[in-house]
Structure 1
Amino acid sequence: MEPIKLNEMDSVRVIGVTVTDSLRNILEKGFVRDMHSTMRYRMTELESRTDDGVYLIQIYPKDEAFTPDIPYENIVGVSVTTDQHIPEGMIEYTIPAGRYAQFLHRGPESNIHQTYDGITEWLRMQYCDPSREIDIEYWDDRYKGESEDSEIDLYVPLQK
């Protein structure tokens, strides 16, 4: 799997909702799907959003090998300007500026693990170490859940 492009990204201020749990629980209990619905419903509270796309930011533990049973943080939110206040029950996170590889997942969201497997293999071939502290998904109007026509942009930071 090859990235669509490699690019320098500016930092992005995101306000949204968060949960920390294992991948196994997140998938079984549908946490991210529920968080996405919550953000779509509460998006009007964020008057200073920069667009209508939704980010999923996955922040992994720094000192542990990732497995489906290791808890990690998931943030689902939208990008906002610096003057946006943080509504009750939401948090703020800044996606770090840096060099990212952008990939595209096409097809049902339930198959996204195949895209992540391809990303991990590409990182292993390019950088030897496929580990990373963060993965970012961006869902805009191309996101259609389980449809074959669905598209999700994925961003992974590149080590310097």
Structure 2
Amino acid sequence: MQTPRIETTPEKKLVGKSLEMTLVENKTHELWKSFMPYRSKIKHRISTDLISIQVYDKAAGFNGFDPHAKFTKWAAAEVSNFDHLPEGLGQYTLQGGLYAVFIHKGTPADFPKTFQFIFGTWLPQSPYELDNREHFELLGDKYKNNDPSSEEEVWVPVRRV
């Protein structure tokens, strides 16, 4: 695994769909399947990139890993403004801030290795700790659904210790 780049991102306006789920009852496929038909109807898109966001309960945080903990996942696209929101879609404002950005290569089945590296190896050895903000993946030009050559950016919210 690679050393991440550390980047500060501004607040982002996003339009998409959301579902509450747990890691045990993962509804990611269902969420993206329901979002994709709306993609072309979203006005004021900044790019063709798609964003997958995980919003964890502030009280529970991300510490004390619990696969049954509920969180909200969004399938979304970034927009310049919320004008002309298509019916059936919601809006969400990502807080922005300091992030460690990793590249995940491979299929969703390979994600446990990436997360193990981030949270089990890199984070404990870094001068950062997890911050209680949104986690997200940026699905850009190199993203290919379920393809072993797929690449996506994994953005992990951090703050200096």
TM range (shorter): 0.7 to 0.9
1:13-92 aligned within 5 A: 13-26=13-26, 31-64=27-60, 65-92=64-91
Q: Is the 8 A contact 1:5 1:102 kept in 2?
A: yes
TM-score (norm 1): 0.87
Q: Structure 1's 117 and 61: CA in aligned 2 closer, same or farther, altered over 3 A?
A: same
Tell me which amino acid in the other structure corresponds to 1:39.
F
Q: Structure 1's 11 and 133: CA in aligned 2 closer, same or farther, altered over 3 A?
A: closer
Q: Is the 8 A contact 2:20 2:71 kept in 1?
A: yes
Q: Is the 8 A contact 2:9 2:97 kept in 1?
A: yes
Moved more, 141-150 or 126-135: 126-135
CA distances 1:66-104 after superposition (whole Å, capped 9, x unpaired): 311111110110001125332222211111121111100
Provide the aligned length of Structure 1 versus Structure 2: 156
1:83-122 aligned within 5 A: 83-121=82-120, 122=122
Task: Indicate whether 1:145 and 2:133 are aligned.
Answer: no
1:39 to partner: Cα distance: 2.7
- Give the match's secondary structure for 1:17: strand
- Give the match's secondary structure for 2:17: strand
How far apart, CA to CA, are the structure 2 residues paired with 1:104 and 1:123? Answer: 15
Q: Structure 1's 111 and 137: CA in aligned 2 closer, same or farther, altered over 3 A?
A: same
- Give the match's secondary structure for 1:102: strand
Q: Structure 1's 139 and 128: CA in aligned 2 closer, same or farther, altered over 3 A?
A: closer
Tell me which amino acid in the other structure corresponds to 2:7.
N
How far apart, CA to CA, are the structure 2 residues paired with 1:86 and 1:43? Answer: 12
Percent same amino acid among aligned pairs? 22
How far apart, CA to CA, are the structure 2 residues paired with 1:102 and 1:15? Answer: 22
In structure 2, the gaps of 5 or more residues are none
How far apart, CA to CA, are the structure 1 residues paired with 2:18 and 2:53? Answer: 9
TM-score (norm 2): 0.86
CA distances 1:87-128 after superposition (whole Å, capped 9, x unpaired): 222211111121111100001121112111111131222247
In structure 1, the gaps of 5 or more residues are none
